[in-house]
């Protein structure tokens, strides 16, 4: 769009060759510029200057504008239609605002091929719609760079959205239809991993499977519940499943190799889990029912340390051992895939029985120390218990806060606090706090020889250190053949850390 100096409309103006009509406010006038541009309309007066107010402007190159005018120093066109010589139309609207914004201008382009483009100058929001109705909306930062979330809307209800990083797709991109999640794609350094319909955005029976921008399969099929068969026969035969979650906050991708019989695995299946950065985070081994892990399973972290050993129910942990990272060991029942109620053994301290969550102790429970003392509370957190009753071995009890990370107890005068609160909500007395530090030491446990652990034979390799394993045989890894057991790292045994029942994981008598 061409700019024009809307100020200084006078017979002495250097860029004006001729003025037809009187220089008066709101009176018809014709202004002819040196380059052949012609204005016909009205002026308004700003102090000594006459300024274009409203009318028709025809540029020498064939562009034209009809509407009202502003300032060359801000927005020369404020309310009207600008027509390019190729017939592209730009509808300009300006909404008045309070200080310090004053106005908000929007431009809506209508191209000759049926496409449109809207620019919101204040919010830097841009919406492009092509002739087929595909809509792309995005925001630019102050440097006018694409460095934020963007949205692709399609007429059939499909929405593809995610984030750009310096103009390149980055991280998790989600695909939904009519607000229902369909699929998730992962972009890393602008390269995509995931499955997408071969007729996208239309639905299809076949999918393209990409791994880091490499098209590995043009005939992948949808297997249901966000599963795609990307190799072989995943119904009745040997094949490989790819799964992508639709959870933006906890994106997850996994490959599962198995021999299938009507969506169930024949013997055990093997899975490798990836996070949103396509980094391996876990391995899982066990039987499949309807593509979900069901029965006795074994899960390890990427470094080979144990994660879960126990029973799974249609993809969710149900009962068994769970090994928190840098915390302790849980044994008991699970809810929504994470510990719910059972026993947590903390190294060198003792064990807890009660309600739990994905972080550790949570809610109502009781903690048992190796020296016979206990902590009981309805307010357990991962590393503390508030409003807790701390009872020594001799039966003496105090109420306060126990800090398990520091192994210290704080006496808190809750009754005094309540009385002070009732007396004056505005000037409640501070609680009187006295700290008692308890140090525990005793002899070495004879059962686990001080380790606090129980050593078991690896259930995956049956103790021989060899098992079916994932190896790098192509662009993104495949499960193939015998090798060093990834679950026990070839040792043949596994240590269930801090699970010794004789000393409750403390390693001491």
Domain tally for the chain?
1
CA dist., res. 333 & res. 318, Å (int): 6
pLDDT exceeds 50 at position 436: no
In the structure, what pLDDT confidence band is assigned to residue 15 with cuts at 50, 70 and 90? confident
Q: If you average pLDDT over residues 429-452, what whole number do you get?
A: 53
Q: Is residue 192 part of a domain?
A: yes
pLDDT exceeds 80 at position 405: yes
Asked if residue 470 lies in contact with residue 477, where contact means CB atoms within 8 angstroms, the answer is yes
71-110 b/e (C-beta count within 10 Å ≥ 16 → b):
eeeebbbbebebbbeeebebbbebeeeeeeeeeebbbbbb
CA dist., res. 390 & res. 398, Å (int): 5
Q: Is residue 217 part of a domain?
A: yes
Q: What is the pLDDT of residue 428?
A: 45
Asked if residue 236 lies in contact with residue 262, where contact means CB atoms within 8 angstroms, the answer is yes
CA dist., res. 261 & res. 289, Å (int): 10
132 three-state secondary structure: coil
Q: What is the pLDDT of residue 427?
A: 52
Kind of pairing, strands 49-58 and 64-69? antiparallel
In the structure, what pLDDT confidence band is assigned to residue 366 with cuts at 50, 70 and 90? very high
pLDDT exceeds 80 at position 477: no
User: 0.75 exceeded by the pTM?
Assistant: no
pLDDT exceeds 90 at position 192: yes
Q: Is residue 460 part of a domain?
A: no
In the structure, what pLDDT confidence band is assigned to residue 432 with cuts at 50, 70 and 90? very low
- Tell me the DSSP string of 170-200: EEEEEEEETTEEEEEEEEETTEEEEEEETTT
pLDDT digits (tens, 9 = 90+) for 266-322: 989 999 999 888 889 999 999 999 999 999 999 999 988 999 999 999 999 999 999
Q: Is residue 180 part of a domain?
A: yes
Q: Is residue 218 part of a domain?
A: yes
pLDDT exceeds 90 at position 452: no
Cis peptide, bond prior to residue 253, ω within 30 of zero:
no
Q: Is residue 337 part of a domain?
A: no
pLDDT exceeds 70 at position 493: yes
pLDDT digits (tens, 9 = 90+) for 40-84: 999 988 777 888 999 999 999 999 999 998 865 567 888 999 999
In the structure, what pLDDT confidence band is assigned to residue 448 with cuts at 50, 70 and 90? low
Q: What is the pLDDT of residue 449?
A: 60
Q: Is residue 402 part of a domain?
A: no
More confident residue, 497 or 91: 91
Q: What is the pLDDT of residue 215?
A: 93
Q: What is the pLDDT of residue 320?
A: 96
- Tell me the DSSP string of 435-490: EEE-----PBPTTTTTS--EEEE-TTTTTSSEEEEEE--SSS-EEEEEEE-TTTTT
Q: If you average pLDDT over residues 193-201, what whole number do you get?
A: 93
In the structure, what pLDDT confidence band is assigned to residue 101 with cuts at 50, 70 and 90? low
CA dist., res. 28 & res. 48, Å (int): 19
Determine which of 261-265, 332-336, 503-507 has the lowest per-residue pLDDT on average. 503-507
- Tell me the DSSP string of 76-93: SEEEEEEE-TTS-EEEEE
What is the residue-averaged pLDDT of the chain? 85
Q: How far is CA 356 from CA 262, 352, 378, in A?
A: 37, 9, 12
**Stretch (H or E) spanning 67:** strand 64-69
Three-class SS string for 313-348? Answer: ECCEEEEEEEECCCCCEEEEEEECCEEEEEEEEECC
Q: What is the pLDDT of residue 472?
A: 47
Q: What is the pLDDT of residue 476?
A: 47
pLDDT over 70, % of the chain: 82
Q: Is residue 318 part of a domain?
A: no
List the structure tokens of 370. Answer: 């190796």
Range of the domain at 178: 154-293
DSSP label of 406: T
Measured in degrees and rounded to the nearest 5, phi and psi for residue 421 equal -65, -45
Measured in degrees and rounded to the nearest 5, phi and psi for residue 350 equal 155, -150
344-375 b/e (C-beta count within 10 Å ≥ 16 → b):
bbbeebbbbbbbbbeebbbeebbbbbbeebbb
DSSP label of 279: -
pLDDT exceeds 70 at position 333: yes
């Amino acid at each position: 769009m061409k700019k024009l100096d809307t100020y200084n409309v006078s017979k002495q103006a250097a860029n004006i060759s001729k003025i037809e009509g009187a220089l008066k406010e709101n009176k018809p006038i014709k202004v002819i510029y040196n380059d052949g541009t012609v204005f016909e309309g009205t002026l308004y007066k700003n102090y000594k200057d006459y300024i274009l107010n409203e009318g028709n402007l025809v540029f020498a190159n064939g562009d034209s504008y009809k509407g009202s005018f502003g300032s060359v120093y801000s927005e020369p066109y404020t309310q009207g239609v600008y027509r390019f010589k190729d017939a592209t139309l730009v509808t300009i609207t300006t909404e008045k605002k309070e200080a310090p914004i004053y106005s908000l201008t929007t431009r809506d382009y209508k191209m000759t091929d049926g496409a449109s483009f809207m620019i919101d100058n204040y919010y830097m929001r841009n919406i492009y719609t092509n002739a087929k109705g595909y809509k792309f909306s995005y925001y630019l930062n102050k440097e006018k760079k694409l460095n934020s979330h963007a949205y692709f809307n399609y007429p059939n209800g499909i929405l593809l959205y995610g984030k750009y990083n310096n103009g390149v797709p980055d991280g998790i991109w989600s695909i939904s239809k009519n607000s229902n999640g369909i699929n998730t794609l992962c972009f890393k350094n602008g390269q995509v991993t995931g499955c997408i319909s071969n007729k996208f955005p239309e639905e299809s029976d076949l999918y393209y499977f990409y791994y880091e921008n490499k098209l590995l399969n043009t005939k992948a099929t949808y297997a249901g519940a966000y599963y795609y068969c990307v190799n072989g026969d995943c119904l009745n035969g040997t094949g490989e499943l790819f799964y992508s979650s639709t959870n933006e906050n906890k994106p997850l991708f996994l490959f599962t190799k198995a021999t299938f019989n009507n969506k169930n695995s024949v013997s055990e299946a093997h899975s490798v889990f990836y996070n949103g950065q396509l980094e391996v985070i876990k391995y899982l081994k066990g039987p499949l029912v309807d593509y979900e892990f069901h029965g006795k399973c074994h899960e390890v972290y990427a470094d080979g340390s144990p994660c879960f050993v126990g029973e799974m129910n249609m993809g969710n942990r149900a009962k068994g051992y769970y090994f928190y990272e840098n915390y302790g060991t849980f044994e008991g029942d699970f809810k929504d895939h994470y510990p719910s109620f059972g026993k947590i053994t903390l190294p060198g301290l003792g064990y807890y029985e009660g309600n739990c969550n994905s972080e550790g102790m949570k809610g109502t429970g009781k903690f048992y120390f190796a020296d016979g003392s206990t902590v009981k509370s309805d307010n357990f957190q991962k590393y503390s218990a508030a409003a807790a009753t701390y009872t020594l071995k001799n039966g003496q009890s105090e109420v306060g806060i126990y800090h398990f990370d520091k192994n210290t107890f704080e006496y808190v005068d809750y009754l005094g606090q309540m009385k002070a609160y009732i007396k004056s909500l505005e000037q409640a007395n501070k609680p009187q706090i006295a700290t008692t530090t308890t140090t525990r030491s005793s002899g070495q446990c004879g059962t686990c020889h001080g380790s606090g652990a129980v050593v078991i034979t690896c259930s995956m390799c049956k103790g021989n250190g060899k098992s079916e394993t994932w190896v790098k045989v192509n662009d993104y890894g495949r499960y193939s053949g015998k090798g060093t057991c990834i679950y026990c790292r070839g040792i043949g045994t596994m240590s269930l850390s801090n699970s010794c029942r004789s000393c409750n994981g403390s390693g001491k008598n």
